[in-house]
């Protein structure tokens, strides 16, 4: 049962936008993987195949997490339930124990009808006040949730 301070607070509404930092990290990491695919002693055919796999991974990752994310918004209700705005419409979900919060990114693992919904919330994809409120909520209600210490 939520405590009285959670009931008195306004519902938390997050509109998740494109994250420049996440895009930057994904491109740089895949670039390093591409360099590693080319700078090894394997035959040329395998190098080209590995480079193609890295390129495909970058394309799919950017499409799924950056350009057209599956989740565009979250609403934390007063009762502690989450309403997830997806491409297919809104879904009610609950928070799983595997959720992780760091000062730079929150990785929410939500469960709805035995379906897991992972949601990446980078710091620069939402307004600073909403990001702070999300981290504070996770820290306060972390009874059993894996939440990293806040810095």
Using one digit for the tens of pLDDT, what is the confidence trace for 57-75?
Answer: 999 988 877 776 778 889 9
For the chain, the C-alpha Rg in angstroms (whole number) is 18
pLDDT band, very low/low/confident/very high, at 32 (cuts 50, 70, 90)? very high
In this structure, the answer to whether residues 8 and 82 fall within a common structural domain is yes
In this structure, the answer to whether residues 74 and 128 fall within a common structural domain is yes
- Please provide the average confidence, as pLDDT, over all residues in the chain: 84
In this structure, the answer to whether residues 57 and 116 fall within a common structural domain is no
In this structure, the answer to whether residues 37 and 94 fall within a common structural domain is no
Range of the structural domain that residue 112 is part of: 4-17+70-140
pTM of the full predicted structure? 0.74
In this structure, the answer to whether residues 31 and 84 fall within a common structural domain is no
In this structure, the answer to whether residues 53 and 101 fall within a common structural domain is no
**Which percentage of the chain shows pLDDT scores above 90?**
45
Q: Is residue 84 part of a domain?
A: yes
Half-sphere exposure of 78 (CA within 13 A, CB side): 6
Q: Is residue 28 part of a domain?
A: yes
In this structure, the answer to whether residues 35 and 94 fall within a common structural domain is no
Which two three-digit tokens encode residue 107?
Answer: 């990785």
Q: How far apart are CA 95 and CA 108, in angstroms?
A: 7
pLDDT at 53: 97
How many structural domains are present in the chain?
A: 2
In this structure, the answer to whether residues 11 and 74 fall within a common structural domain is yes
Residue 63 DSSP class = I
Which two three-digit tokens encode residue 79?
Answer: 């009762």
């Amino acid at each position: 049962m939520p405590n009285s301070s959670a009931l008195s607070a306004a519902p938390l509404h997050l509109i998740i936008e494109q994250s420049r930092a996440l895009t930057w990290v994904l491109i740089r990491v895949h670039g390093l993987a591409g360099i590693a695919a080319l700078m090894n002693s394997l035959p040329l055919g395998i190098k080209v195949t590995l480079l193609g796999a890295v390129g495909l991974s970058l394309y799919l990752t950017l499409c799924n997490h950056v350009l057209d994310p599956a989740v565009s918004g979250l609403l934390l209700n007063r009762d502690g339930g989450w309403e997830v705005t997806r491409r297919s419409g809104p879904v009610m979900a609950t928070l799983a124990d595997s959720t992780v919060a760091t000062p730079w990114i929150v990785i929410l693992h939500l469960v709805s009808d035995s379906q897991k919904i992972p949601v990446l919330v980078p710091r620069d994809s939402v307004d600073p006040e909403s990001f702070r409120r999300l981290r504070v909520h996770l820290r306060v209600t972390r009874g059993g949730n894996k939440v990293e210490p806040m810095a």
